[in-house]
A and B are shown apart, each in its own frame.
Chain A
Amino acid sequence: MNLDRELAWLIVAVVVILVVASLVSRVLRRRAKTEGARATVENVISRTRAWWAMVAIFTFAILIGKTGTVILFGLLSFMALREFLTLTPTRPGDHRTLFWVFFIITPLHYWYLLDGWYGMFSIFIPVYAFLFVPMRSALAGDCERFLERTAKIQWGLLICVYCVSHAPGLLMLDLRDYGGQNAKLLFWFVIIVEISDVLQYVWGKTCGRRKIAPKVSPNKTWEGLVGGGLCTIVLGTSLCWVTPYSPLQAAGMSFIIVLTGFLGGLVMSAIKRDRGVKDWGHAIAGHGGVMDRLDSLCFAAPVVFHLTRYGFDSHALLQAF
């Protein structure tokens, strides 16, 4: 059990946000006049309902402890990779490679994380899996679009497994004056990543005008990014008491989360658009696939993990010299 008073407050805060969101969306449903507005509100309602479930599952995993959280993120990686590779046209020659990727490489990587073997955790996928994937596919003997197929599998592994795993990786850091409290840092990180998405969506829907990249993602606007981003930074800073960061550092981290999360969402949208789909899958009602909720986290997690490790981890500081 990880529950201390600060974590309890964080959970209460999230529940309050969800209650408010549920009430507001009910009120909006009564006010919606046009067809388009009604569709948007219905989507917001089903999204909020799914958020309740997601928050419940995540909180439960955090309360169980390290093992529960690592298993949860391992499953999320598995599901995200599944969506990613389903949209990636592989050939029969890749079949056994895919088996390895899903059932050997992904669990092993999460095992290294749970084991706290930092060195292996950081090089297993970028070095060993990177080399293994083309070797296994070459043995199958199909040369057609070989580099393209291999690169896509490697990319999927890096994004869906390697990058995502850096979020639970926050639990393994040995932070100065913060021993045994890492669950709160992970909780804070996930709240900020997801609230940044939500606030950018809300700001974009209500006062978004100027599109940032209409071809890639028509819903992303400057108003959404700046308005949602600023609100997120204020929230992230005001919650700095649960993190190892000072208020200024928390603001900086929130800024980095907003920026990397936004750009990550843009990258993943570009891939979806190229494949001609709107969502990664149908796993979460109202949201699309698992990857539709993890896209920002994929890009923010490694950056926040390493900044925190270099800046606040006692071992890393010693190793640096």
Chain B
Amino acid sequence: MISGFIAGSLRLATGATAWWRGCGPELRQRIYFANHTSNLDGPLLWASLPPVLREKTRMVAAHDYWSVGRLRPWLAQSVFRAVLIERKKPTAECNPLDVMLQAMGEDHSLIIFPEGGRQTSPDPQPFKAGLYHLARRRPDVELVPVWMENLSRILPKGEFLPAPLLGSLVFGEPIRLEEGETKPAFLDRARESVICLRQSSCA
């Protein structure tokens, strides 16, 4: 109820349209990975999924950001049911990879931002290795690239007040880790698959 309301408000506030280009909104185990420019990215991607999928999809987010204050932990836990990971100093006890694999379990999907943090450059930064390790450990899961358009203009890094421009999300064709594909090659390909969804490139 509350999460439905918050998802609706997020979609309304960002005017976001979701375009399912390379795949449909199917209920199966997936990892959605996207470019990251705004704090709205994770919540909005989650909000753009149909309710049935939303219930089974958890966004992966930084522990250091979402555990501050009162509102953020409540949103992270009760609404987005975020998977909070330690990105600054991972230890053996809280290895982000284990946390993510555990959160996926048998039937949950994940939302991750493989750049590792919000960027201000026009193109996404090189991807961190987490996506590769997830793909290797769970070869059965579809990896869906997502391009998030204009979110950096709605709520850029370092700003508190939003500008109500219209955002959009493009869901691309799922990729998988190929047999014998190296880590750098796979991460490059994954990044390209996200960039390709931007309107201006790869027409």
Residues of A within 8 A of B (CB): 78, 82-83, 85-86, 90, 92, 95-96, 98-99, 102, 281-282
Contacts and interface: CB of A to CB of B under 8 A. Distances in A.
Given A90-B153, A92-B120, A92-B156, A99 B161 contact: yes
A99 B17 contact: no
Interface in B122-137: none
A288 to B, nearest CB: 12
A94 to B, nearest CB: 8
A136 to B, nearest CB: 12
A85 B161 contact: no
A93 B153 CA distance: 10
A76 to B, nearest CB: 14
B145 to A, nearest CB: 22
A83 B168 CA distance: 12
Interface of B: 15, 17, 120, 150, 152-153, 156, 159, 161-166
A95 B162 CA distance: 8
Contacts of A90: 153
Contacts of B17: 282
Contacts of A85: 163, 165
Nearest to B167: A86
Contacts of B162: 99
A90 B162 CA distance: 14
B166 A98 contact: no
Which residue of B152, B156, B163, B166 has the most chain A CB atoms within 10 A of its CB atom? B163
Contact of B156 (A78, A82, A95, A281): A95
A85 to B, nearest CB: 6
Contacts of B165: 82, 85-86, 98
Given A86-B150, A282-B17, A96 B161 contact: yes
A99 B120 contact: no
Q: Which 4 pairs, one residue from A and one from B, show the smallest C-beta to C-beta distance?
A: A98-B163, A86-B166, A86-B165, A99-B161
Given A86-B150, A90-B153, A95-B153, A281 B163 contact: no
Contacts of A98: 163, 165
Contacts of A102: 163-164
Contacts of A281: 15, 166
Contact of A83 (B152, B156, B159, B166): B166
Given A92-B120, A95-B159, A282-B17, A82 B153 contact: no
A205 B162 CA distance: 42
B176 to A, nearest CB: 32
Which residue of A78, A83, A86, A99 has the most chain B CB atoms within 10 A of its CB atom? A86
Contacts of B159: 95-96
A84 to B, nearest CB: 10
Which residue of B150, B152, B161 has the most chain A CB atoms within 10 A of its CB atom? B161
A110 to B, nearest CB: 16
Given A85-B163, A92-B156, A95-B159, 20 more contacts: A82-B15, A82-B164, A82-B165, A82-B166, A83-B166, A85-B165, A86-B150, A86-B165, A86-B166, A90-B153, A92-B120, A95-B156, A95-B163, A96-B161, A98-B163, A99-B161, A99-B163, A102-B163, A102-B164, A281-B166
A180 to B, nearest CB: 36
A90 B166 CA distance: 13
Contacts of A92: 120, 152, 156
Nearest to B149: A86
Nearest to B152: A92
A78 B152 CA distance: 20
B151 to A, nearest CB: 12
A86 B151 CA distance: 11
Nearest to B159: A95
A99 B165 CA distance: 10
A272 B101 CA distance: 46
Contacts of A86: 15, 150, 165-166
Nearest to A79: B15
Contacts of B152: 92
Nearest to A282: B17
Contacts of B156: 92, 95
Nearest to B120: A92
20 contacts: A78-B164, A82-B15, A82-B164, A82-B165, A82-B166, A85-B163, A85-B165, A86-B150, A92-B152, A95-B156, A95-B159, A95-B163, A96-B161, A98-B163, A98-B165, A99-B161, A99-B162, A99-B163, A281-B166, A282-B17
